[in-house]
Structure 1
């Protein structure tokens, strides 16, 4: 693992880590500025879960008989320098495949490479098309090595970075050096992101928005405005002034025993037509039948907070943790049915056994539902990812471990194992073992 300079804007750090770029170089202003660049990646994840004890199942249940699925995505990163401080990037992508049980059955879903839309036939889409401008706040500069979504050159160490267009909220917010990249580290949704961060996203995880980041010394502050779907878990096809997310994050970087660390505090608020779980349950009791959120939606706010920590122990070992909670009285809008979540883990680089580009990671996460959500799902309610037709509640507990082997300059192979107790918070079902093999290429 390479140590990242503190002063690199978060968007560029994530582009280097999340998208497989080379990162930024030492503070050397001699790198010639690129005017354009093309990069690419290919990732295939084959994932299987075993059969498990499942006395019953519903519309959104993980298949108790076991299932094997695969996903493949091929991405092109095309960048153009519009001005000395401004870049344009587009990322056309071809996708194919399905998540396990068509991407339902666990709140902490086991593959970050699986979208909520699956297809047997490859299809083309455009997940990212954005402009990024960096405005200097001082004279000191640092060098940037070129990579996916980063043009080589230099920029001011202290700066304001503005990004607008189509991209993922988690490109900028809730980043973590050790757990944020389903193409290179962990796979589980509630490990790579804060589980209760119900961020704006279409069914593929992207949105339209504007984000600004202030970076000075050891501190950063960032804020954003993003489009929500017009209805929960829907597609974002047009501007809807009544459905939006506000998000802000504060970051403090520090040194502990000469090793870098970061702590971040994030808050978000979603405004849209959304349902209260209790209203749906009351209506079902009055009229009979199964509670239905669509019948009781009205204009409302839903908010939450997340705490995010990363700490290097030495150059090759790091720890991470996230804790998050949201308003559990209202339905999950975009991400998944998690009202509180706690995750922690460690990543070790392979230099200790003579393979410095390899890494091994282990993580544990516990996800929980609010009292109101439990009442809704126990009456047979259906959500974004869960809904077994009944519920014997227990916290969803997941352990994940992976080994990523660097095969050559462009290719890596990973093996991943997860074990989930109480999938979809249901003590009547599971536990379930989930196995994955991931092949990732960069070019």
Structure 2
């Protein structure tokens, strides 16, 4: 990654550090990499047959499908001098998603985002390599446990934080206690992140960039700037960052550490994207089917906003509610996450404490996705994106419900039966409804 200007930020921070007496808290005496965790997730998912009077290359398979996916991960970290830390994550994906992981904006298996395209292979890869710096702004600290991207020890309650390297934008933005991990919570793409937030990412969901955060006990302000892919859902990332980039800013309000939280996010993408209305005009002149990729030009822009809230209700927060709402302008092509220009989701989690199984959870949520008028017209004329395209369309909001039960069989092992129901998959009233039955096994150390 070639983020040379970002290294200047680190130089300025090092010059601005407080006296050594402040920096002595938990300063490492030797730099030994630590294994912070490891995981394996298996998903066996079946898609029922569905009504399908016509189909395109990206439609859900009318006859149904059954697929299995496997993800493996190992996560490392090392404490460095002067409040620096370095993290390295290795992952591997095997298997596939039902209907080749196409046909809906809210795809049914979130782990398939790690599969990449067919030519990426199924070998291990480096998912993250991140340098983190935290400048203390006070003396108050709290304890943190070892976890992915987090060394055990003390964390300053007030700090200025910088991350630089290869990472996932969603590591720091649009977090939610009840709907944030496809491996342990909701599996649908429209539920573990805001579907209208088209955040920068390569095919596997990672990118290069920098994140800056001002963290206070009651609120946090974050800004991130990241490399965009060269093409929609592409693996290669664009450079220089002055030509193409994804930017987001998010304000989190959380007066109590384990209390309610509200997050407001705004984002802007600049990339080599196509414009739906221009692609339609070009097709009408030539008499061809519109192709958004043929209209790709440098400097195109997309902007949007999102609100994300969580509300713990009982059981030390293990029972609670969440909601998200998001919007983007829908003028340029869906580019990196999924094909949605409007998104709303709401749901909740109930602790198994109420039936004598405190480590279990029962959760239910619904999501409604929509697209702009330009995007609808493009699909109606036979156009397709990177996830949806039935050849034509009778537009309707994509409506999804997901229900799962996470049962801890033994420590570190969770089994989760999962059911999803979708009306108007791919925004098309002529298709579906679609039903998905899944079983997820998750091992985490």
Gaps of 5+ in 2: 1-24
Separation (CA, whole Å) in 2 of partners of 1:240 and 1:135: 28
1:26-425 → structure 2 map (5 Å cutoff): 35-38=32-35, 39-83=37-81, 85-115=83-113, 117=116, 122-237=122-237, 239-241=239-241, 242-254=243-255, 260-298=259-297, 299-315=299-315, 316-425=318-427
Deviation at 1:118, TM superposition (A): 5.6
More displaced, 356-365 or 81-90?
A: 81-90
CA distance in 1: counterparts of 2:309 and 2:284, whole angstroms? 44
> Cα offset for 1:30?
9.5
Would the alpha carbon gap of residues 237 and 301 (structure 1) be closer, same or farther in structure 2, given more than 3 Å must change? closer
Supply the distance in 2 between the matched residues of 1:263 and 1:339 (Cα, whole angstroms): 21
Distance across 1 between alignment mates of 2:240 and 2:124: 25
Partner deviation per Cα, 1:30-74 (whole Å, 9 max, x = no partner): 999994311211111111110010011101101010001111111
Superposition deviation, residue 149 in structure 1: 2.4
Give 1:349 deviation, angstroms.
1.1
C-alpha spacing 1:278/1:238, structure 2 compared with 1 (3 Å)? closer
- Partners of 2:139 and 2:156 within 8 A in 1: yes
Matches of 2:26 and 2:373, distance apart in 1: 58
Q: Once structures 1 and 2 are overlaid, which stretch shifts more, 76-85 or 51-60?
A: 76-85
TM-score normalised by structure 2 residue count: 0.89
How far, CA to CA, are the matches of 1:376 and 1:66 in structure 2? 27
Deviation at 1:331, TM superposition (A): 0.8
Do the aligned partners of 1:349 and 1:356 also contact (CA within 8 Å) in 2?
yes
The structure carrying a bigger helix percent of its residues is 2
CA distance in 2: counterparts of 1:278 and 1:169, whole angstroms = 29
In the TM superposition, structure 1's runs of 4+ consecutive aligned residues that sit over 2 Å from their partners are: 29-36, 115-122, 236-241
- CA positional deviation for 1:259: 7.3
Q: How many equivalent pairs are there?
A: 413
Deviation at 1:219, TM superposition (A): 0.7
Tell me the TM-score normalized by structure 1: 0.90
**Residues 200 and 226, structure 2, Cα contact 8 Å, conserved in 1:** yes
Does structure 1 retain, via aligned residues, the 8 Å contact 2:262–2:307? yes
Q: How far apart in 2 are the matches of 1:271 and 1:217?
A: 33
Distance 1:351 1:44 in 2: 26
SS in 1 for 2:406: strand
The separation in 2 between residues aligned to 1:390 and 1:290, in whole angstroms, is 11
Structure 2 equivalent of residue 7 of structure 1:
none
The answer for unaligned runs of 5 or more in structure 1 is 1-28
SS at match of 2:331: coil
